[in-house]
Amino acid sequence: EAGVTQFPSHSVIEKGQTVTLRCDPISGHDNLYWYRRVMGKEIKFLLHFVKESKQDESGMPNNRFLAERTGGTYSTLKVQPAELEDSGVYFCASSQARHRSSYNSPLHFGNGTRLTVT
């Protein structure tokens, strides 16, 4: 099966511009997560979709970040306007089930999008 796919792999933009990151989860995975790793620091949870609904967006840093998952398939993460501190690697992950007993369905991560804001 195809894995989690993220586009683009790299993006370099200027401060104040807008960038949209895309994630295609594994087909059939209802759960979709966004994470971010700022340079050298830990990977931080941003938000969680169950199908098209936002289940938990407690990790979103501020209102410059907007995530959508129309139709419950792919997801986009828009940063508008971008700031220097938004630079980092943005990971998307998907999973088939959410219940604790389903530990055989771990999160599958994409390769990430490296965002550089100059």
Partner 1 sequence: GDSVTQMEGPVTLSEEAFLTINCTYTATGYPSLFWYVQYPGEGLQLLLKATKADDKGSNKGFEATYRKETTSFHLEKGSVQVSDSAVYFCALSPTDSWGKLQFGAGTQVVVTP
- Give the phi and the psi of residue 84 in degrees, each rounded to 5: -60, -40
Work out which of 40, 63, 70, 71 binds partner 1, going by CB under 8 A: 40
- C-beta of 3 vs 16, nearer to partner 1: 3
11-24 in b/e burial notation, b at 16+ Cβ within 10 A?
bebeeeeebebebb
45 binds partner 1 (CB under 8 A): yes
Are the C-beta atoms of 94 and 32 separated by less than 8 Å?
yes
Residue 117 to residue 3: CA distance in whole angstroms: 27
16 binds partner 1 (CB under 8 A): no
For partner 1, the binding residues in 68-107 under the rule CB under 8 A are 91, 93, 95, 98-100, 102-103, 106-107
58 Cβ contact partners less than 8 Å away, ≥ 6 residues apart: 45, 47
CB of residue 106 to partner 1, shortest distance in Å: 5
Contact positions toward partner 1, by CB under 8 A?
Answer: 3-4, 31, 33, 35, 37, 40-45, 48, 56, 91, 93, 95, 98-100, 102-103, 106-107, 109-112
